[in-house]
Amino acid sequence: MDYNTLLQIVKEYGSPTYVYDAEKIVLQYKRLTKAFNNVKQLRINYAVKALSNISVLKLFNSIGSGLDTVSIQEVQLGLKAGFKPEDIIYTPNGVSLEEIENVAELGVQINIDNLSILEQFGSKHPKIPVCIRINPHVMAGGNTNISVGHIDSKFGISIHQIPLLLRIVENTNMTINGIHMHTGSDILDIDVFLYASEILFETAKNFKNLEFIDFGSGFKVPYKKGDIETNIEELGKKLSKRFNSFCKEYGKDLTLAFEPGKFLVSEAGVFLAKVNVVKQTTSTVFAQIDSGFNHLIRPMLYGSQHEIENISNPKGRERFYSVVGYICETDTFANNRRISEINEGDILCFKNAGAYCFTMASNYNSRYRPSEVLIYKGKPQLIRQRETFEDILRNQLEIAM
């Protein structure tokens, strides 16, 4: 995305605004499928929670992707976007049996991650095939906030509970058609991921009617120049070979599934915000923007680093700035970051803003959530209007005083 296009988008749709590049999304999807082109049956299920705008979902549907969902609302969004029920997998955590049953009625693949719900669901609906989410107790991600395969995680059924799991399956006579794991985000060590995969293969041997094995995702993308990322090509080569070998041992060709979110959309998105004030204290120069953690919480929540560029003055002399927001809380996006000289009214561009950014936005301080724009076939198109005061009041009820 060139700077002139982004500046024109701000001029037309205001700030702050999220902008996504459809071409980059498609390229990332093709890169992943190419890395695993030696597998006979591959399924990529885009993780809706990363970026759930219905226009983005329609884009994924058009290129043959499936969907990974975590709520009945995400399932309904997928159906609304044109996905067939059989192309959606539902992997909730801590939801009610009632919600799982409601999703099952829609014809979506169910993925259950705890023994209590598994037994209840299997007892009531033994004919509905179910996938099981296993916790391999392998921490393949960066930290405990984004790594969900460690022993203290709330996600998945422990590998140490396999004997009890098998007893439940036998007693209910239910059909298990898939095995799943997700070790967490920002995977760097491919060997650790492959080690977790071996645990999944070993678990899969206990089930005779599998149709697929889902290896989750969590592939790391670069967040700054020179940053390291998951080597998808190397992983594709090694895991494909092992997967094909397992299928021969198992006696039939299974589908290899992934559920990437960040890998597909993170680098395709940017967040544009205007500088309201340049404020200098005794030790710091602050660039205060027309946004805060109500729009982009990842730096404050996870300590994530988003590269920031001043697209109004990209070739200016670099100075050190702390970029902060307008929320009445500490909402620091960057501390003492080298950025081209900033003036009030300049537009700052936050890179890697496609995943887990807008979807985590809120109305804190009664601020409006921003607009979203998709650049599709070279043309910027508004895919979400900026909220208004009427949106703030929409579900509030005034009582007589």
User: What residues act catalytically?
Assistant: 328
Within 10 Å of residue 76's Cβ, how many Cβ atoms?
13
283 vs 285: CA distance, rounded Å: 7
Q: Determine the longest span between alpha carbons in the chain, in angstroms.
A: 73
Residue 209 Cα distances to 36, 98, 175, 176, 197, angstroms = 23, 26, 7, 7, 19
Of the CA atoms within 13 Å of residue 116, those in its CB half-sphere come to: 5
Neighbours of 163 (CB within 10 A): 8
- Long-range interactions of 242-248: CB distance < 8 A, separation 24+: 242/194, 242/197, 242/198, 242/201, 243/39, 243/213, 244/38, 244/39, 244/40, 246/201, 246/204, 247/40
Beta strand ranges found along 107-205 (DSSP E): 109-112, 130-135, 157-158, 176-180
Overall residue count recorded for the chain in this entry: 401
d(CA 308, CA 352): 10
Token pair belonging to 173: 């006579």
Lookup result for tokens 């301080």 = 365
Tell me the sheet residues that pair with 348. 273, 310
Residue 213 has what DSSP assignment?
E
Helix (H, G, I), strand (E, B) or coil at 381: strand
